Amino acid sequence: MPRKSPKATVRQFLAHLGADLDRLRGFPALRRKFRTTSGYDLDLENPKTLSEKIQWRKLYDRNPLFPILMNKTGMAEWAGSLLPAADHRYLPKYLQVVDDADKLDFSALPADLALKCNHASGWNVILREGEAFDPDKVRRRLKGAPPAESLAGAGLRKRLRSPRIRLSRDFAACWCAGPAAEQRWLARR
């Protein structure tokens, strides 16, 4: 297992320290964010709405299955172990799954594909046939995704052990089919 750089170790320590301080203070950052997005105060002592119950579960429920289901590649492996072989066609098929953007091999990839971070949302990169792209720029974009432990509300995500980058062809074909989808996904590049 590769060693972390001192800078990455300090960043991880500060993220954990910040999360612990936030927990000890009663989650003021989460409460503020919840208030601005939902319009009412978060009640963690007696959650009534679905949104409050979801926040409560993220903070306090320690079901060991949650990190597996949050990890998109891990979830596919887990579902594959439970489903009969005839139903494996419904599971996502990945061309590559890598731990680091530097390990991406663009020469062995087809034209249309989607690169998705396992541990972050909105960091997708769509590469389409006929479009020129700079592999170094794509790698920088994927490296720019925040680490799993530094994301807001990282109660469950902190337990996500292996941030990975997934390459899928089916996803790109489905989302790049129409002009509306094209505008939605290309805007995130």
Which of 61, 79, 112 finishes a domain?
61
User: Is pLDDT above 50 for 10?
Assistant: yes
Beta-carbon count within 10 A of 112 CB: 18
Number of domains in the chain: 2
Whether the model pTM is above 0.75? no
Which of 61, 90, 108 corresponds to the end of one domain? 61
pLDDT at 149: 52
**What are 14-72's pLDDT values in tens digits?**
877 877 887 778 888 889 999 999 999 999 999 999 999 999 988 888 888 888 887 88
pLDDT digits (tens, 9 = 90+) for 140-177: 888 877 665 554 445 555 555 567 888 887 654 444 44
Q: Is the pLDDT of residue 179 over 50?
A: no
**157 CB-side CA count, 13 A:** 19
Same domain (yes/no): 107, 166? yes
Residues 72 and 51 in one domain: no
Q: Mark whether 88 and 53 lie in a shared domain.
A: no
Q: Tell me, what amino acid is at 93?
A: K
Residue-wise burial string across 54-65, b where 16 or more C-beta atoms lie within 10 A, e elsewhere = ebbeeeeeeeee
Domain with 140 in it: 64-189
- Do 17 and 95 fall into the same domain? no
pLDDT at 53: 94
84 and 14, same structural domain? no
Which one of 61, 78, 97 terminates a domain?
61
**CA 169 – CA 159 distance, rounded (Å):** 28
Residue 122 sits in the same domain as residue 43: no
| Sign of CA pseudo-dihedral 125, 183, 148, 79 | negative
How much is the pLDDT for 81?
A: 93
* Judgement on whether residues 29 and 114 belong to the same structural domain of the protein: no
- Give the DSSP letter string of 45-82: SS--SHHHHHHHHHHH---THHHHHHSHHHHHHHHHHH
Beta bridge partners of 177: none
Are 85 and 153 contained in the same domain? yes
